[in-house]
């Protein structure tokens, strides 16, 4: 009988995994703001190294979790070599 010893991906572990994949010289901005129904929503942007800021067109759509917003922002700007690895 086989056993699955994999540890479930908690929100904290997922966020740590995402942050470890983003190069340290990139600018990361994360915001939480209420939507029209006053529910808190997250969005994120990742700027180029040395740019000093994140352009307005780099912001992700609003998401329920910080990790989802950060993952969407990273998928939009990650280098082509990283795209084959998944999130």
pLDDT, one tens digit per residue, over 26-45 is: 889 999 988 888 889 999 99
Higher pLDDT, 33 or 54: 33
Dist CA 75 CA 83 (whole Å): 8
**Count of helices and strands (H, E) across the chain:** 3, 2
Mean pLDDT of the chain: 84
- Residue 25's pLDDT is 87
Half-sphere exposure (Cβ direction) of 34: Cα atoms closer than 13 Å: 4
Dist CA 12 CA 22 (whole Å): 16
Residue ranges of domains in the chain: 25-77
């Amino acid at each position: 009988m086989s056993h699955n010893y994999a540890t479930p991906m908690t929100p904290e572990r997922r966020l740590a995994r995402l942050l470890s994949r983003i190069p340290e010289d990139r600018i990361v901005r994360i915001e939480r703001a209420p939507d029209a129904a006053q529910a808190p929503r997250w969005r994120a942007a990742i700027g180029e190294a040395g740019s000093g800021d994140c352009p307005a067109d780099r912001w992700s759509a609003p998401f329920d979790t910080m990790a989802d917003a950060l993952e969407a922002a990273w998928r939009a700007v990650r280098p082509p070599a990283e795209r084959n690895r998944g999130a």
